[in-house]
Structure 1
Amino acid sequence: MSVLSIDGVWKFFGGHAVLRGIDLDVRPHEVVTLIGASGSGKSTLLRCVNLLETVDDGTIHLDGDEITDPRVNVDEVRTRLGIVFQAFNLFPHMTVLDNVTLAPRQVHRVAREQAEEQAHDLLARFGLADKVRAYPDQLSGGQQQRVAIIRALATQPRLMLLDEVTSALDPQLVVEVLGIIRELKDAGMTMILTTHEMGICREISDTVCFLDEGVLLEKGPPEKIFSEPENARTREFLRSVLDSGRF
């Protein structure tokens, strides 16, 4: 069974269709990367999966459960998903430890001692053991984004959604965050990510999906998408990315 099944999803803002009949299945341990120009619908698709946006047509299933059913418990669905945005969204008045343990304690009702033990393990795993008592404004951008990813991991999500998590970072800090993404893949985490970093896309993706004006025009393994794209729009996009030096 797929972890996630997106079937015929449409999303409108006003009279404009931002997503146009998207179909996509994500298998366990698969890494799916969404690429495309800004405004192509990549982030909106992730927001629909996390129920931050309501789909106008079509369905989304998580582990066989239809999460787009209006009767669904949205909070329960979100306990099974981890989402990280390009803006770090850390609570500035909380320490790193408190940011990471908040959801496990408040949403999942994990005892403080257990939540803090898990947080210490995750922070040590990703090179932030010495930042436990630090506040977000005492961290670099790369460290803040790592904490944001760790915070999402602390709830032990079934599926991770990563939305342009390196785009707000200086180039030298991108490497820090990409290292975490590589490690998550190696650990078997199921992920959907959007990115303009075509190098990491080629390296870690099992499936690459090219979106153009809300349409999923082409999908396949990275070696096929990058070497032998079938759609002319895909070829045009990849040429423009190559010319911009994002490979």
Structure 2
Amino acid sequence: MTLTDQSAQRPEPTPDPGPGLLACRGLRKSFAGRPVLDGLDLDVAEHEVVALIGASGSGKSTLLRCLNLLEEIDDGTIHLDGEHITDPRIDPDLVRRRIGIVFQSYNLFPHLRVLENITLAPLRVHRRDRAEAEAQARELLDRVGLAEHAQAYPDRLSGGQQQRVAIVRALVNSPRLMLLDEVTSALDPELVGEVLSLIRDLKADGMTMVLATHEMGFAREVADRICFLDGGRVIEQGPPERVLGEPTEPRTRQFLRRIIEAGRL
């Protein structure tokens, strides 16, 4: 079994306005009258890794939350596997079974052991057999080097270990799409590598991912495409070497110049 067993049955597709696994058209989202997403378009092909970069407030995290239906969009459409998942008639809980999301703050339940954190959703939401759910969880923990910590509480783990547990918890439902929101930004520098190594493994397994990151070196290495967000829109996108090395948009060049000056590229 790989980290990304994607054998789960897919729903019957409906007409899709764009190619690939994910298609976003004209997404708009405002908070207190301030636009955060302003007509954003994005397509993601199956098995593609897309890195979202941009200054704080450019809309990266809001976009990920909208993709997982944690935030309701004001306008636009999102299609997953050809299904219009922002249709008001769609059950968001059924959609979230196909989308895993991991935040920078881990969000593990402190009163539950590692194994219990991972199997909570499969047992309570998906009504899976306990023995089957625990066997899969243990196999994934073994794959990420945490098998011996299955009965530990989260506060007994390092930050990097907790983040790997959070990623395994998202993977246990065999999602079609993984969303990663600055998953290394809360870690000490020496712990970043172990999380990035896991994400590389996910890429090797063929997992489709959209990740927001300030780690430009990592984005260059793991992403198939980089999208630079500014003002709630994708204003430049392309292969990492081109976007990071020879950006065409003045706003992208300005952003990267500041990244270079800060020693982060």
Equivalent positions of 1:228-247 (< 5 A) are 228-247=246-265
- The CA deviation string for residues 156-190 of structure 1, in whole angstroms up to 9 with x for no partner, is 00000000000000000101110111000011000
> Which of 185, 202, 217 is matched with 1:199 structurally?
217
Displacement of 1:37 in angstroms is 0.5
Aligned partner letter, 1:71: R
Aligned-partner Cα distance in 2 for 1:25–1:240: 28
C-alpha RMSD of matched pairs (Å): 0.8
Displacement of 1:20 in angstroms is 0.8
SS at match of 2:93: helix
SS at match of 1:175: helix
Report the TM-score when normalising by structure 1.
Answer: 0.98
- The aligned residue for residue 219 of structure 1 is 237
Would you say the 8 A contact 1:182–1:204 is kept in 2? yes
Displacement of 1:15 in angstroms is 1.4
Structure 2 residue 148 is matched with structure 1 residue 151 = no
Aligned partner letter, 2:45: R
Displacement of 1:107 in angstroms is 1.7
- The aligned residue for residue 47 of structure 1 is 65
- The aligned residue for residue 133 of structure 2 is 115
SS at match of 2:107: coil
- The aligned residue for residue 99 of structure 1 is 117
Equivalent positions of 1:77-88 (< 5 A) are 77-88=95-106
Would you say the 8 A contact 2:41–2:233 is kept in 1? no
- The CA deviation string for residues 51-79 of structure 1, in whole angstroms up to 9 with x for no partner, is 11111111000101111111110100000
> Stretches of 4+ moved more than 2 A in 1?
none
Aligned partner letter, 2:160: G
Aligned-partner Cα distance in 2 for 1:107–1:25: 29
- The aligned residue for residue 138 of structure 1 is 156
- The aligned residue for residue 5 of structure 1 is 23
Identity of aligned residues (%): 64
Aligned partner letter, 1:14: A
- The aligned residue for residue 176 of structure 1 is 194
Displacement of 1:242 in angstroms is 1.4
Would you say the 8 A contact 1:119–1:154 is kept in 2? yes
SS at match of 1:234: helix
Would you say the 8 A contact 1:79–1:107 is kept in 2? no
- The CA deviation string for residues 177-225 of structure 1, in whole angstroms up to 9 with x for no partner, is 1011100001100000000000110001011000012121101111110
Q: What is the aligned residue count? A: 247
Gaps of 5+ in 1: none
